[in-house]
Each structure stands twice: as C-alpha cells, then as structure tokens.
Structure 1
Amino acid sequence: MDVNIVDTTLRDGEQKAGIALGINEKVKIAKILDDIGIYQIEAGSAAMGGEEKASIEKIAALGLKSKISSWNRANIKDIDASIDCGVDIVHISIPTSDLQIKSKLGKDKAWVLERIKKCTTYALEKGYEVTVGMEDATRSDINFLIEFCTVVSEIGIKRIRYSDTVGISYPRKVFYSIKKLLQEVPIEMEIHAHNDFGMALANSLAAVEAGAKFANCTISGVGERAGNCDFIKFAQTLDMFEGEKVCPLNIEQILRCLSL
C-alpha cells in the first residue's frame, strides 16, 4: 500500500475548541512527529501571520526529516506568506462543490479552474512542491472533480487532497469516488476526513483501499468540530489488519513518543 501520513495536528488540530498552542509547544510537537517518522507535517497557515507564521518559520528551519507544509487559500498573498517561511510543500486549497463555490466564493466552476491554474503555476514556477486540496469534495459533482484533477495534473501537480470538509461522507462513497478519480486521472490521492458522524477512520481506510497513498491524521483525532482521523487508530488498524506500517516505529514506541 505504501501509505504516508500527513499530520495536521498543528493546523486542523488546533482548530478544536479549547486548543491554543504556543510556538514552543508547536516546535516540540513537530520534533516528536519527526521522531515518530511522519512523512509530512502540515505546520499551519502562514497567511494568518503573527505567531502562526513565526511557528511555521521556526519548524521549517529545524531541518527535520519530515516534509513541512503550509496550508493556503487560492491566492497569491497566501502563497507568498508560505514561501517566506521556507516550507518544503505549498498546499493550495479551493472549494469544488457547487454549494461552497457559490456561498463561500461567490463564483462559478470556470473561475475555480482558472484560479487554481494561476495559483499552482505561480507556486511551481517558484520552485516549490505543490499539492492541491479539493474542499468539500464529498459534496462535489464527480465529473467536475475529474475535470479539476485533470487540469491540475496537466499543469504538473502530482498529488490531490480529497476533503470531506464537513464530515458527512461514508466509506462506500469515499471508496468509489477516489477509485473513479484514480482511474480517470494519473495523480496521487490524499484523504482528509472529519469525524462528525464518527466516520473519519473508516473513510480514511476506505480511501486507502481505493488507492489513496496519503492520509491526513492528527494526534488523538483532535480537530475542528468533531475532529479528524486519529493517527494512532489509523496506524494500528493498518498494521494489525493489513501488515502496513505507516512509520518506522511500532505502536508502543509511538505511544511512548506521544507521552513525552
């Protein structure tokens, strides 16, 4: 399977009510995630500025083995803020559902395609690895998702994030949607699941079964609203039932690291 973890504790995890991490706490968590062997750490959203941007800069400067990324809206100012931080990966996210394109952006699908082309091309020309997120993918028209993925793939994007932004999907739908996208477009898929209906783990596993090579997780499943996919549960399930290790350490070693 060759599944890689993209840990978003420092970005989506911190959006949980009651969680407010300081710079030193974020640095400590990043070092622990690196010790565990996490492939990629989503360190925050640099466009927020202040301590958020400062913490991303500090984490990016640590020289960790884990790749460091920053989350961005589809605009050049966001991307420049991430570039200023010296991250390894620039992640650009944009709504793809009719509902959010209209309510959040006040635009149409043609605008979304042009916007993502402009922003991804800009970041790629700056020499950065770029990944793209499809916000509210689980409520998006599958034919538009195919068109969207085709457009960014032709630009040079290698990985797309399929996001269950509002946590309303279920395993069978996630499986068939990702399977269809992978059949139609030569691109790697990443799953971002929320736990509003208790499906974050199941949806992430379904995505992996369909061929996704990357999964977003957080420590203890913390995250906005009901949370995200729990890293330990995800890692343990794949290890026990599929013999797939998502990081070099065993579960006992991971738990020891997280208890520090």
Structure 2
Amino acid sequence: MRERRWIVDTTLRDGEQRPGIALRPEDKIQLALLLDDINVHEIEVGIPNVDTEGIDYVKEIMKKKKNSYISVWSRVNEEDVIYSVSCCPDIIHIGTPVSYVQIYSKLKKNKVWMQKTLARCVDIAMNHGVKVTVGFEDSSRADVGFMIHTARLLKDMGVETIRIADTVGVLTPCRTRTMIEEILEHVDINIEMHAHNDLGMAIANSIEGAKAGAKLIDCALFGIGERSGNCNMWEFLHAAERTFDFGIQKKKVREVEKAFEKIAGGNWNEWENSSSF
C-alpha cells in the first residue's frame, strides 16, 4: 500500500523568480484555480507586496478555491507578517535563515535574535487565527542541532510544519535523508521538502526526503524557479507514484502546464530540456 504524501505548488512564488516570468494578478488567479481543480494540497500564491500586486488577488483566490490550502510567503519581519495576515490566507509561510553564514554574515545578527524575532512573527500570525508554517532557509548548510532546537521551540508554539529548504542547491540524496531522519528522531513535527536543482538533483532529493519522512514536497510546473529551478511536478509524480500516493493525476498536471504556457508565453518544455544538468 502506497504511503500518502502531499504536493505544495510553488510556481506562483518561487517559480516566478525564474528570469522571463512575470505573472499578473489575474494570471495568478487563473493558475491557482487550475491547480486547485487538480487537487494540489497547498498552493503558494506569492509574496504580498503593497507596492506591486497588493492583496486583492489573494482574496479572490480564497473566495473561489475549493480544494487546496492557499499560502503566502513572508520574511521573518513583523511588518511583513502583519501585511500577510491582511490577505486572509489559509497559511502564512514565514521564511527564516538557519545557517550561521546567513544569520551572521548576511543579516549581521545572531541566532538568539533570529529565534526571538521568529517567535514574535509566529505569535502575530497565530493571534490572528492564521495557520503558520516556517521555512528553514539554507538548511543544507545549517547546523542540525540548531535546527532541532528551533523546531522544538516552534512545536511548543503550535507550529506543525517546518520546511527544509535547500536554498543554494547543494544537497545530495544521502545528506537529505540523514538530515531529515535526524530532525524527526528528536522532534515530532511535519517536514516539508523544498529542493533546488543546481546540481540536477531536485527530484532525487525530494524522493529521498519523502522516503525519510517528509510529508509535503514542494514542486513547480516545468520545474521553473530561481537559478536552475525547483522540483519538476510532473517528473516527480512520474518517478515517485509507485511509492507514494499524492492524490493527483499526472495527466491533469500536463493540462495545467499547457495552460501555463499560454498564460506565461514561450515553450517551457524547451527551457526545461535546455537547462537540465
């Protein structure tokens, strides 16, 4: 009997970071509803921004969707979280650096500051009755002990899911499995896997993540995304369907891909083939 796993679509958020992709709010509404129709578990519809897209498109998706959870992405920043709350999504995903190189060198902060700031942001969202998931950015270069400690703090606050994000795309399948198994050994929490394809291993890492216990797998149509892209949804389903039940038919994904090509323009199958490792 196949184990159950769930797909989180990130085409409208991380996928839009692919050069050449610029989706209008009406495009995001159309694509989100197509993904909702094929029973994608969660759809990450973007990063709400008062200066660009605003929040009306998120509210429109929330009114019309029938099957999927709708999430928006927020930095670990109190003002950003408050703005995300105003979208009234099902889920706010808060992304926070967990590697020391990002905390100390990029943010010029320390891990105590990060945990306290994250706790305040989670508190704000939860006090407004919004479910929270937390993304561990740059997990592949982070100290596992620190991630375990942070996951325990989040679990105590009521957070049910953390995202393991291979932000710089350097994970291998072996490292993916070891890291997830170690976290789950110490913390009873749901894990979401977010793989990048810089080394051509996004699908392999996602499969190993699912085998190690990750319940949710992030994918994008055609595998589009920042730099070399994300885990390709159709190819991941094709590779993993004998092991796991995702509740999605592959042929339906192909139909959404065709619609995406019409909306975004261009032949994304050609881009996918030319950019693979």
Q: TM-score range by the shorter chain?
A: over 0.9
Distance 1:62 1:26, change over 3 A: same
- Provide the C-alpha distance between the structure 1 equivalents of 2:188 and 2:5, rounded to a whole number of angstroms: 17
Tell whether the 8 Å contact from 2:5 to 2:210 is kept in structure 1 after alignment. yes
Residues 1:107 and 2:109 aligned together = yes
Hey, what's the Cα distance between the residues in 1 that align with 2:177 and 2:216?
14
- Following the alignment from structure 2 to structure 1, what is the Cα–Cα distance between the partners of residues 136 and 253? 30
Match of 1:200 in 2: 202
Counterpart CA distance in 2 for 1:42 and 1:91 is 9
RMSD: 1.3
Q: Distance in 1 between matches of 2:155 and 2:205?
A: 24
- Supply the AA of the counterpart residue of 1:172: C
- Confirm or deny that 1:137 pairs with 2:136: no
Q: Aligned in 2, Cα 1:73/1:168: closer, same or farther, shift over 3 Å?
A: same
1:196–1:227 Cα contact (<8 Å) kept: yes
1:85 aligns with 2:87: yes
8 Å contact 1:74–1:92 — kept in the other structure? yes
2:246 maps to 1:246: yes
Q: Which runs of 4+ in 1 moved over 3 A?
A: none
What's the CA shift string for 1:157-213, capped at 9, x where partnerless? Answer: 000000000101111001010011011001000001100110111111111010000
- Gap runs ≥5 in structure 2: 260-277
Amino acid at match of 1:68: I
- Whether the 8 Å CA contact 2:197–2:228 is kept in 1: the answer is yes
Give the structure 1 partner of residue 33 of structure 2. Answer: 31
Between Structure 1 and Structure 2, how many residues are aligned? 257
* 1:6 aligned counterpart, secondary structure: strand
- Matched position secondary structure for 1:123: helix
Which range moves more in the overlay, 137-146 or 44-53?
44-53
1:1-260 alignment, distance < 5 Å: 1-47=3-49, 49-51=51-53, 53-239=55-241, 241-242=242-243, 244-248=244-248, 250-260=249-259
The question of whether the paired residues in 2 share the 8 Å contact of 1:193 and 1:229 is answered with yes
Q: What amino acid does structure 2 have at the position aligned with 1:254?
A: V
Normalising by structure 2, we get a TM-score of 0.89
Unaligned stretches of 5+ residues in structure 1: none
Q: Kindly, what percent of the aligned residue pairs are identical? A: 39
